[in-house]
Amino acid sequence: MPLTATSSQKNLSQVLTQAINTKSPQVIYGENEPVAVILDYTSYNVFLSLMDELEEKGRYLDAFRESKREKGISLAQLKKKYCLK
């Protein structure tokens, strides 16, 4: 049975304990649609790190594609333009 917003409110302590102990996201549903997720803090931080990496790789890819169009832009210029490390 899906975890509803109402049942998660009534059993918040239990829902949090489940998320923390199992390292498994607890999906909360409203009107039979997923509306929220409860994660343990460690998993949340991993998620944020992965998002940062993906965004950075996306910026590199955009910069690389742009450099091919512009022909001749240096890596230093790309890093500066996209605030990359």
23: left (phi over 0), alpha (psi -120 to 50) or beta: left
Percent of the chain residues topping a pLDDT of 70: 94
DSSP states of 37-62: EE--HHHHHHHHHHHHHHHHHHHHHH
Residue-wise pLDDT for 23-48, tens only, equals: 999 999 999 899 999 999 999 999 99
Of the two residues 58 and 34, the one the predictor is more confident about is 34
CB–CB of 82/61 below 8 Å? no
**Longest CA–CA separation in the chain, Å:** 61
pLDDT of residue 71: 65
pTM here? 0.61
Task: Scan for tokens 């890093």, then name that residue.
Answer: 79
Angstrom distance (rounded) from CA 59 to CA 30? 35
